[in-house]
Structure 1
Amino acid sequence: MQNKASTSSSQDIRIQAADGSGSFGAYLALPRGGTGPGLVLAQEIFGVNKTMRDVADYYAEEGYVVLVPDLFWRQQPDVQLGYTPDDWQRAFALYQGFDEALGMQDMQAAITALRQRSEVPGGKVGVLGFCLGGKLAYLAACRTDADVAVGYYGVGIDAALDEADRIRCKLALHVAELDGFCPPEARDRIVQTLRGRPNVEVHVYPGVDHAFARVGGEHFHRASALMAHERSVAALKSAIGPNYDLAALWDKHCEYEFGTRNVDDTMGTMVAEPYVNHIPTMTGGVGYKNLHAFYTNHFVNSNPPDTSLVPISRTVGATQVVDEMLFCFTHTTEIPWMLPGVAPTGKRVEIPLLAVIKFRGDKLYHEHIYWDQASVLVQVGLLDAALLPVAGVETARKLLDETLPSNTLLTRPRG
């Protein structure tokens, strides 16, 4: 079973070169709604391969019309390399033979072509690049009419810092601290030259190497990739959109979960392959099929009738909502996702709960839900707070009233 409403579509198109030398191919990925801001994706040295197409599809889910131009077409059209030693050798040969000036003309042609397409009604276009494309993203901020540029571990940016005064749009760069293609002295020059300039962000990721954001790659580092993606989308949205009311989307999701208790409607607010992780109990589901089964069998219809969510604070970011709340219920039914295997105790439970809700475009991608499981166990009578440094309902009460005593566990007599 798949959530077809969340899928995007793709096609291959042709773009005319500005110098009249012919045309080159490009991969075009469209968002679910068919329209959105434009995003030119500048390739790694391996061509418009599966990795680049997957990245394009990913950003299409974010709401962008993504175009990946074939930048090696002047040497060899339709390069799609893998990552074997032979592929690396061929990729470096293509990189060494790449004419950067002509490549930037092709980047501008791609930007112009995308800006003129009916799928980009607002005419706003950004640039996103990796490796070779990371430098081209930097140069796009200096030499093209792009509205925003984001570059990942660009190779050779330090050699083009004399163009920094020509940066004309918002620019965000992601730099790997241990990048073998950007030694420490080059990295330091980039940081010192660009940091502090208006509309320029330079983020250095400690302990990671080149291509830390390439899923499945040797140097993939998930935590850094997630942080970089959050910053990338924030930069793109601030300049070209798209902008969605994430808080309203999350509220509608919660209405289906706890109000109408309709699993299909709940899943309809999510991407094609979402996931939910209740951190303390490791319950939830990964992928549409598993999550649908979890919601049906263990969540949506398993919460006590008097369940309520009391909002305390809300933070809305570029790609996520963070809700701080009280989760309150009387334990009159088994709650498999929170108290798996525990028969109803009839006890009243009130706990602080934190929800981190990530979106792709206007659909929920994942939920990370946190609470203090020890406090839950104390309140249902399965844990003796007198024997351990834990608290029960007091945690919820102090969240609402900060004047209640602090440090009570520190001053409690010890056995």
Structure 2
Amino acid sequence: MGTSIDIKAADGSGSFSGYLAIPASGSGPGIVLLQEIFGVNGTIREIADYYAEEGYVVLAPDLFWRQEAGVELDYTAEDWQRAFGFYQGFDQDRGIEDIAAAIAALRSRPECSGQVGALGFCLGARLAYLTACRCDVDVAVGYYGMGIENHLDEAASIRGRLVLHFAEQDEYCPAAARQDIEAALDQRDNVELYRYPGVDHAFARPRSEHYHKPSALMAHQRSVAAFRQAMGPHYDLSALWDKHCEYEFSTRNVDDTMATMVAEPYVNHIPTLTGGVGYRELYRFYKHHFVDSNPDDTTLIPLSRTVGATQIVDELLFCFTHDREIDWLLPGIAPTGNYVEIPLVAIVKFRGDKLYHEHIYWDQASLLVQVGVLDPAGLPVAGRETAAKLLDETLPSNALMPTWADSANR
């Protein structure tokens, strides 16, 4: 997705390269992406492309250029040694000056809307913190930074928003360092500090031995939320989701449905493990097992919607007559002709203005009771009552609890 550009050093000593990734829209707020100790390698370029999908113009400058231009290391033992050598030889103050030059270069580009943030990992996280202190950025985000505690005297200079993610088991930023950072920054209105229990350094790098997907996903959501709040771009996620559902359930057009999604999306219907991962498998699923498998009287009744910076949570009733086999919902169950109402929750994640994934939840036991293939007698399950109580909270509670009556006079 990206290209290489030249950035002029502010001190007149030459120029250095930067990897530039531009969103599909062609423009957006800017992010200067600050490298780990391994240089602008494949991981950094992938992160740049990822944030370009989120709607940002991303520039990853080569910060080791004063030692050696084009450093791009892997994570082998040999490259680790080389990386630490570059880290030890890095002139941090000159590095911040180069970051300021990259910010200026990014702001001057026609693709950049003017606002610029910083995002850094490892060494880059400390540089993101110092960038917030010394440079003109709207927001700075750092992952598992090391050495920030040695520069807390500069915190008073932070003008924009600062978000820092810490790994609880990080040997490069131990508990004592985190305590110093928290004591200095935690009460500032423009600072967010997050600690991820049980994880180690590089928990957000997919090929790291310490990669922890739940923490990485949570941290990414918080990071994008900070960027969105400080500088946009702002998308009407509600309208995008409604249009996607229109193509699924009303016009029933698979190509239009897929056009609302990223290049490699996925859908997971949690109770039945149905859906698809990647464009080809999801297209196949929608085409042959979903869009035309839903009964003609299928109705979605919305009850609530929560819209965040990167995702939507929809609570609704899913209603239909079971007049055909519904592969994705009741796989292998022949039509019963029964009318069904089930509560359903959809958690829909976006990248920029495209759907990235859907996690769909419902009570499969209630569904099986309603179509008559599960006898609820003696089981703590309910049928259509689950939907009825969502609409009328005064209906009886705790009827499935044999001990409920025992507590009446306690």
2:7 matches 1:24: no
Cα distance in 2 for partners of 1:78, 1:192 equals 38
Cα distance in 2 for partners of 1:36, 1:217 equals 30
Which residue of the other structure, out of 231, 238, 257, is the alignment partner of 1:266?
Answer: 257
2:142 matches 1:142: no
Amino acid of the structure 2 residue aligned with 1:329: F
Amino acid of the structure 2 residue aligned with 1:408: A
2:241 matches 1:250: yes
* Residue correspondence of structure 1 range 197-276 to structure 2 within 5 A: 197-276=188-267
Other-structure match for 1:118: 110
Other-structure match for 1:100: 92
Other-structure match for 1:5: none
Other-structure match for 1:3: none
Shifted more, 261-270 versus 383-392: the winner is 383-392
Other-structure match for 2:162: 171
Cα distance in 2 for partners of 1:195, 1:234 equals 19
Amino acid of the structure 2 residue aligned with 1:113: A
Cα distance in 2 for partners of 1:170, 1:46 equals 27
Other-structure match for 2:50: 58
SS in 2 for 1:88: helix
SS in 2 for 1:124: strand
* Residue correspondence of structure 1 range 347-386 to structure 2 within 5 A: 347-386=338-377
SS in 1 for 2:242: helix
SS in 1 for 2:127: helix
Which residue of the other structure, out of 17, 39, 42, is the alignment partner of 2:31?
Answer: 39
Cα distance in 2 for partners of 1:412, 1:148 equals 54
Amino acid of the structure 2 residue aligned with 1:143: R
Other-structure match for 1:301: 292
Which residue of the other structure, out of 318, 324, 328, is the alignment partner of 2:319?
Answer: 328
Cα distance in 2 for partners of 1:208, 1:188 equals 17
Which residue of the other structure, out of 286, 293, 311, is the alignment partner of 2:277?
Answer: 286
Other-structure match for 1:184: 175
Cα distance in 1 for partners of 2:296, 2:187 equals 54
Amino acid of the structure 2 residue aligned with 1:107: I
Cα distance in 2 for partners of 1:90, 1:10 equals 26
Amino acid of the structure 2 residue aligned with 1:57: D
Cα distance in 2 for partners of 1:135, 1:146 equals 15
Aligned Cα root-mean-square deviation (Å): 0.9
- TM (norm. structure 1) is 0.96
Cα distance in 1 for partners of 2:182, 2:250 equals 50
1:344 Cα deviation after fit: 0.4
Cα distance in 2 for partners of 1:294, 1:412 equals 45
Other-structure match for 2:382: 391
2:153 matches 1:159: no
SS in 1 for 2:114: coil
1:183 Cα deviation after fit: 1.2
1:372-405: CA deviations, max 9, x gaps? Answer: 0000000000111113110000000001111100
2:77 matches 1:91: no
SS in 2 for 1:407: coil
Amino acid of the structure 1 residue aligned with 2:236: D
Cα distance in 2 for partners of 1:399, 1:78 equals 59
Cα distance in 1 for partners of 2:186, 2:39 equals 30
Structure 1 unaligned blocks of 5 or more = 1-8
Percent of aligned positions with the same letter in both sequences?
Answer: 70
Amino acid of the structure 2 residue aligned with 1:102: R
SS in 2 for 1:353: strand
Q: How many residues were matched structurally? A: 404
Other-structure match for 2:63: 71
SS in 1 for 2:26: coil
Other-structure match for 2:398: 407
- TM (norm. structure 2) is 0.98
Other-structure match for 1:344: 335
Amino acid of the structure 2 residue aligned with 1:149: A
Amino acid of the structure 1 residue aligned with 2:330: L
1:131-151: CA deviations, max 9, x gaps? Answer: 000001111110000111000
SS in 2 for 1:408: coil
1:412 Cα deviation after fit: 8.4
Amino acid of the structure 2 residue aligned with 1:13: I
Cα distance in 1 for partners of 2:76, 2:403 equals 62
* Off by >3 Å, runs of 4+ in structure 1: none
SS in 2 for 1:386: coil
Cα distance in 2 for partners of 1:10, 1:92 equals 27
Cα distance in 2 for partners of 1:388, 1:10 equals 57
1:281-338: CA deviations, max 9, x gaps? Answer: 0000000000000000100110000000000000000000000000000000110001
* Greater RCO structure (CA 8 Å; 6+ sep): 1
SS in 1 for 2:200: coil
Structure 2 unaligned blocks of 5 or more = 405-410
Other-structure match for 2:407: none
1:411 Cα deviation after fit: 3.5
Cα distance in 2 for partners of 1:392, 1:222 equals 35
